[in-house]
Structure 1
Amino acid sequence: MAFSPSTDRLQVVTTTGILADLVRNVGGDRVVVDSVVPDKADSHVYEPSLRDVRNIVYADVAFSNYLLLEAQNVIKALDANLRDGIPNISLAEGASKYAAEIIPLVEDVSLDTIWLGLRVRGTGAQHGANRASDVLISATDVSGPGALVAYLTESFGDPVFYVNSADGFDASDGYRDDTATLPPAAHTHMSWAFTAPGVYRLTMSAKLRVAHDARPVDIGTQTFTFAVGVDPHSATGIPAPTVLAAGHADIAVDLDSGRLHLYADPHGGGEVNQEVYDPATTVIEVPAKALKEVPAGRGYRFLGRPGQQVYQLPQAVLGRHVHGEIDPHLWQDVGNAQAYVELIRDTLTAADPAGASTYRRNTETYLAELSALDAYVAETIASIPPSQRYLVTTHDAFGYLAHAYQIPVAGFVTPNPAVEPSLADRRKLTETIRNLHVRAVFLEPNLAARSSTLAEVAKEQRRQVCAIYGDAFDDTVTTYVRMMRFNADSLKRCLT
């Protein structure tokens, strides 16, 4: 549906079809609703069209999920093209005031070397930053016995370079080539490769670009030390250094303090256990066991010749996986969807006071339907014997379903749908299915084209492949209520 500015109804734009359905149930005939991300598409990677932008321009109210669920270009299109004064509501963030329960996005720390990524902390409010702003994190200098390459491996193995000391640091265009761009409050994984053993020192700077056409604001500069294949305690020249050798760590930009530091959780447990480390007294260890052979194929020539050995801290999650610290898929708990609905009611009422009684009446009816849905999902899943109640699926989008309805997520192919699973991912998935005697695995229909690994492992283990819906509708499931009922029924049918 494309908006027309001539209609008397309230024009509402949402980022996803699930949110659009919730708005239609509250707004009824008083609203016209359009979703930026169409059915069957993936909100994590969708690129807005000119038609999407036109719909945004005409909108009277906008709803996104956010918590970094949507692709950043979707959020930028929304925030840049809404007219001044138009309500622009992030439902996942606002729903907490309506008793929504949020859970952290906990990442696995099972690798035997440190995971090192990039992170943006703080709000940058003193600089006028918002969710559509960009933080530019640039390498400005590297010293060491070899080349240092920090890169991200996208799906299908294509590398994107953030740092490559072999070709120097070019700033001739005003922005350095060796630059990563992240939104505020975001985090990304990456691989770090070193072509020779020794001590490396990497200097990085950060800038904040509040708007697309704004001049970037300097945030800070810092140097980070790596001990590659050498003793981190004696080789670096830092007296009694703190050594980061395991767990999850990030080179972090703090927009509020104007500092770059290390933010690390060396013992596991996720972001809640991460602490700030001073780069001047901390060494990042790249141990001898991180020595790997450069694989065959032209795509990895930047690391050296095939078979040549390099030291590498692996990318924790393959693919362009930018995310925040809170799991954004709140609607998989029906109680959270009810909180969304109440926030939608109040937002529409403020934008259209004449419709207040309609919005209140529609909301009461829909909340009653959702309460019945919540009970149905809980009862249906509870009827699955606990020994068979395990969810193995495409990507990590069902933490709220697991938490609310006591169905443990035993495994997923990758944490993010826009990734290519590794051999280790496949091996772990196979062992999980075999050891827990999992009867079926669950595939999101909109991700079927990119989920061959799940189907292959299920076939090898003679397990059924069943459907489950996470982020998007299709021709079979067209409403939120149908989606949650379908998921509960599919789980019961395939696991019992």
Structure 2
Amino acid sequence: MEYFLVAVLRVRASRARLTAAVLVLVMLSGCSAPVALSDSDRRLQVMTTTGILADLVRNVGGDRVVVDSVVPDNADAHVYEPTLRDVRNIVYADLAFSNYLLLEAQNVIKTLDANLRAGVPSISLAEGASKYAAEIIPLVEDVSLDTIWLGLRVQGTGAEYQANRSSDVLLSATDVSGPGELVAYLTESFGNPDFYINSTDGFDATNGFRDDTATLPPDAHTHMSWAFTKPGVYRLSLKAQLRVAHDARPIDLGNQTFTFAVGVDPHSISGMAAPTVLSAGHADLAIDMDSRRFSIYADPHGGGDVHQEVYDPATTVIEVPNKALKEVPSGTGYRFLGRPGERVHQLPQAVLGRHVHGEIDPHLWQDVGNAQAYVELIRDSLTEADPQGASEYRRNAERYLADLAALDAYMSETIASIPPANRYLVTTHDAFAYLAHAYDIPVAGFVTPNPATEPSLADRVKLTETIRNLRVRAVFLEPNLKARSSTLVEVAKEQGVAVCAIYGDAFDDTVRSYVQMMRFNADSLKKCLAR
């Protein structure tokens, strides 16, 4: 029963009804371990994190496997919260597959790792597929913002402390000095703010700064909005701690102060002679677990994570210029910034929703060649777990690989039939770099750069000009992310541009398999862009 009780401990305290349900189930089931597979039922119980992975496993495993997915259809793997049913399925699994490369929400990975029985294989497909000739590309983030795009980052392996993918790094604000308040927050998928740092209610060391802490897995970074209520010089103090396991004592990784010039000259800050000023591109306040040092990891010239440089926080100023002034939107949701209509300086979050990721784009399956590598790894993993089924897994994989080869050819031919001048992709979610690379259809942009507030006139003008200048024929929305896309839909309609569907991370009632999903995407691209 020990591993099942872990599930109770792993569930968030705020989800009291789920915890109660787990306790009831434990009492009903007693303290016995899950029943092993009987001789009459040799089917493997396989757990995957997403429906796409589940479909690949079913095609290889056939009748010898029973497959369940943690993230259901129509849900977003980046933010999904596991349920009691998911915990129960994981406990009984004989084999597990995740995509990883930080695709799935960290709670999904933690729930999977905490509740698998000892000795059950857990395969990270995106990482393992490189041995089967999968093509891995870096995650390039460049949304051409007018101001710097600032986040938090964890670097290093933490090998000295035996850190793993279920470990946590806690980045806590311990003090803010400045003329006003500093609030760093994340805008969720439906517009609700989730605070990481909020100086309006102070910093309480007695609770371990829990109210002003961002939690990240190793080798990851996250986006957020940074709001400053008055112009002037701000100094933010951060501390970092590594928690290797859920119940382990945190390991201190160090402290650092970062300087912001908000609406003032960044070159004239007292005590800083000739500082380096960061005012554009993508940057993160970063902690390296191995060296225990903070830095600012930045690409001031754009291009995302490809050309990042390291800056010393002691001699670097982050500029928040007056062009970052935004009006506080109406409604009660943003009262922490001031009264509606008041102007505050704000660095934008840039990508809507909780979006923690690493250096590699995890959406490998958007290139069918990479899906073939997944299938080969799944075949070998199933064979190792169930040697008696080796011949069946091999036959199923051969058949399915042939289907995927035909799908890859269909994708290439269909997208190649779109005139090159029309071949631009504007989407909801930055999940199509592999599709763009494999089938020569450049990603021109996605949604609006500042989801935390109502889009400004400049935001709309920029999006309008992108669509107009490139003569974009259509924009593409993922069905499960429609709630994030009102601005794109409105601008598209204003410009007489079609709004079409494309699938990235999840199935629904229309698309129920990987092959069907990719064929739908190719057909939708051709139908909407070739006209």
Tell me which residue corresponds to 2:13. Answer: none
Q: Which moved more, 1:309-318 or 1:87-96?
A: 309-318
Does the aligned pair in 1 maintain the 2:417–2:526 contact within 8 Å?
yes
Which whole-Å deviations, capped at 9, do the CAs of 1:105-126 have from their partners, x for residues lacking one?
2212522222221111112122
Are 1:66 and 2:110 counterparts?
Answer: no
Are 1:410 and 2:444 counterparts?
Answer: yes
Does the aligned pair in 2 maintain the 1:262–1:278 contact within 8 Å?
yes
Tell me which residue corresponds to 1:172. Answer: 206
Structure 1 residues 318, 366: closer, same or farther in 2, change over 3 A?
A: closer
Q: Aligned equivalents of 2:428 and 2:148: distance in 1?
A: 25
Q: Aligned equivalents of 1:426 and 1:321: distance in 2?
A: 23
5 Å matches for 1:58-137? 58-137=92-171
Structure 1 residues 115, 440: closer, same or farther in 2, change over 3 A?
A: closer
Does the aligned pair in 1 maintain the 2:191–2:452 contact within 8 Å?
no
Structure 2: gaps (5+ residues): 1-33
Root mean square deviation of aligned Cα: 2.4
Once the 2 structures are TM-superposed, how far is the Cα of residue 46 of structure 1 from its aligned partner? 1.7
SS in 2 for 1:271: helix
Are 1:481 and 2:515 counterparts?
Answer: yes
Residue identity in the other structure for 1:184: P
Tell me which residue corresponds to 1:205. Answer: 239
Which whole-Å deviations, capped at 9, do the CAs of 1:58-104 have from their partners, x for residues lacking one?
11111011112112211111111111121111111111111111222
5 Å matches for 1:18-37? 18-37=52-71
Structure 1 residues 384, 49: closer, same or farther in 2, change over 3 A?
A: same
**Which of 370, 386, 389 does residue 336 from structure 1 map onto?**
370
Once the 2 structures are TM-superposed, how far is the Cα of residue 363 of structure 1 from its aligned partner? 1.6
Q: Aligned equivalents of 1:284 and 1:457: distance in 2?
A: 32
Does the aligned pair in 2 maintain the 1:395–1:415 contact within 8 Å?
no
Residue identity in the other structure for 1:245: S
Q: Which moved more, 1:377-386 or 1:164-173?
A: 164-173
Structure 1: gaps (5+ residues): none
Tell me which residue corresponds to 1:317. Answer: 351
Q: Aligned equivalents of 1:476 and 1:303: distance in 2?
A: 41
Once the 2 structures are TM-superposed, how far is the Cα of residue 149 of structure 1 from its aligned partner? 2.2
Tell me which residue corresponds to 2:421. Answer: 387
Once the 2 structures are TM-superposed, how far is the Cα of residue 236 of structure 1 from its aligned partner? 2.9
Once the 2 structures are TM-superposed, how far is the Cα of residue 461 of structure 1 from its aligned partner? 3.0
Residue identity in the other structure for 1:172: T
Tell me which residue corresponds to 2:304. Answer: 270
Once the 2 structures are TM-superposed, how far is the Cα of residue 139 of structure 1 from its aligned partner? 0.9
Structure 1 residues 155, 490: closer, same or farther in 2, change over 3 A?
A: closer
Once the 2 structures are TM-superposed, how far is the Cα of residue 450 of structure 1 from its aligned partner? 4.3
SS in 1 for 2:78: coil
SS in 2 for 1:346: helix
Residue identity in the other structure for 2:445: G
Number of equivalent positions: 493
Are 1:374 and 2:439 counterparts?
Answer: no
Give the TM-score taking structure 2 as reference length: 0.87
5 Å matches for 1:358-369? 358-369=392-403
Tell me which residue corresponds to 1:438. Answer: 472
Q: Which moved more, 1:20-29 or 1:151-160?
A: 151-160
SS in 2 for 1:73: helix
Are 1:242 and 2:276 counterparts?
Answer: yes
Which whole-Å deviations, capped at 9, do the CAs of 1:8-29 have from their partners, x for residues lacking one?
2111110111111111111122
Tell me which residue corresponds to 2:381. Answer: 347
Structure 1 residues 421, 68: closer, same or farther in 2, change over 3 A?
A: farther
Q: Aligned equivalents of 1:420 and 1:4: distance in 2?
A: 52
Q: Aligned equivalents of 2:88 and 2:248: distance in 1?
A: 24
Does the aligned pair in 1 maintain the 2:369–2:408 contact within 8 Å?
yes
Structure 1 residues 88, 457: closer, same or farther in 2, change over 3 A?
A: same
SS in 2 for 1:55: helix
Q: Which moved more, 1:452-461 or 1:483-492?
A: 452-461
Q: Aligned equivalents of 2:125 and 2:462: distance in 1?
A: 35
Structure 1 residues 303, 413: closer, same or farther in 2, change over 3 A?
A: closer
**Which of 55, 69, 73 does residue 39 from structure 1 map onto?**
73
Q: Aligned equivalents of 2:392 and 2:448: distance in 1?
A: 43
Does the aligned pair in 2 maintain the 1:319–1:420 contact within 8 Å?
no
Tell me which residue corresponds to 1:298. Answer: 332
